[in-house]
Amino acid sequence: MEHQKYERTLVMIKPDGIQRSLIGEIVKRYEQSGLKLVGIKMTVPTVELIEQHYLIDPEWRMKTGLKTIESYKKKGAKPPSEDPLVITEIILGNLKKYMTKGPVVAMVWQGMHAVGIVRKITGGTEPLTSSMGTIRGDFTIDSYEVSDIDGRAVRNLIHASGSQDDAEKEIALWFTPKELIDYRLINEAMLYDAELSGILGQ
Ligand code: GDP
Ligand code: MG
């Protein structure tokens, strides 16, 4: 098995992150964790790219639809439909509108447990309940309820891959192999070297 220091994940700063002038702050949060930035670009996504991106996980439609119905019922509210696939079609339609409204910044971060560490730094999907100290908890204020009433995607600043398998597929969708840089970061020795030799003089 390849060493976990090579694990990679895709992060995207969504259009609200750019418009809120949070690019630097968001990059800083991932950078200071010890992960290594190996690819970055600004682009205005097409509707086709956004659709491909969200449908990379074949389970996403069903999972997200079921999760949404459950959260409506938990609050004692009636979901917009009893069919999970109808619900996700609405969510996906709103995401396509939102994600193509302006530039996004796509990044690939590499390092030990990159997928899990990035999810932790990013915070839970719904800003109302994302923990303080996470990007979504600290920098935005949206909820599913209000975004659903207003008929728009939840403004949660970031996309971050949900699993290593999704990450590899998403990276291949957003970046060519040439756009990803294989380089050594001096700091990595402190994270990964077993011996830590060469710090003190002989
Ligand atoms: P993420 O990986 O944390 O972004 O969350 P998911 O993969 O579950 O969902 C992708 C995107 O779909 C989220 O960023 C939201 O924009 C949207 N979404 C997911 N779940 C819900 C939901 O229950 N309600 C609404 N309105 N949108 C949702
Ligand atoms: Mg996801």
3 pLDDT more than 90:
no
Which band of pLDDT confidence, cut at 50, 70 and 90, is reported for residue 13? very high
Q: Which domain holds residue 174?
A: 4-192
Decide whether any atom of ligand 1 lies within 6 Å of the 71 Cβ.
yes
104 pLDDT more than 90:
yes
For the chain, percent of residues with pLDDT exceeding 90: 93
In a domain, 34, yes or no: yes
- Give CA–CA dist 38/25, Å, rounded: 18
Q: Which residues on neighbouring strands pair with residue 159, listed in sequence order?
A: 12
Distances, alpha carbon 41 to alpha carbons 10, 23, 97, 176, 199, in Å: 12, 12, 20, 11, 35
In a domain, 102, yes or no: yes
Decide whether any atom of ligand 1 lies within 6 Å of the 148 Cβ.
yes
In a domain, 199, yes or no: no
Both tokens of 26, joined, read: 């968001």
In a domain, 197, yes or no: no
Global pTM reads 0.95
In a domain, 30, yes or no: yes
- For the stretch 149-189, pLDDT in tens is 999 999 999 999 999 999 999 999 999 999 999 999 999 99
| Domains contained in the chain, number | 1
Instruction: Please compute the mean of the pLDDT values over residues 62-71 and round it to a whole number.
Output: 94
64 pLDDT more than 90:
yes
Decide whether any atom of ligand 1 lies within 6 Å of the 125 Cβ.
yes
**Residues in the chain, overall count:** 202
Sheet holding 8-13, edge to edge: 36-43, 104-110, 8-13, 158-160
In a domain, 202, yes or no: no
What are the helix and strand counts (H, E) for the chain? 10, 4
In a domain, 198, yes or no: no
Q: Is 159 a known active-site residue?
A: yes
- Give CA–CA dist 29/176, Å, rounded: 25
Distance of CA 34 from the midpoint of ligand 2 (Å) = 23
Both tokens of 29, joined, read: 């949060």
pLDDT of residue 4: 86
**Long-range contacts made by residues 71-76, C-beta under 8 angstroms, separation at least 24?**
71/144, 75/145
Q: Whose CA is nearest to atom 5 of ligand 1?
A: 125
**Which numbered atom of ligand 1 lies nearest the CA of 154?**
16
Q: Tell me the CATH number at 173.
A: 3.30.70.141
Decide whether any atom of ligand 1 lies within 6 Å of the 110 Cβ.
no
In a domain, 109, yes or no: yes
**Which numbered atom of ligand 1 lies nearest the CA of 162?**
2
Mind giving me the DSSP string for 128-187?
A: TTSPTTSHHHHH----HHHHHHTTS----SEEE-SSHHHHHHHHHHH--GGGS-----TT
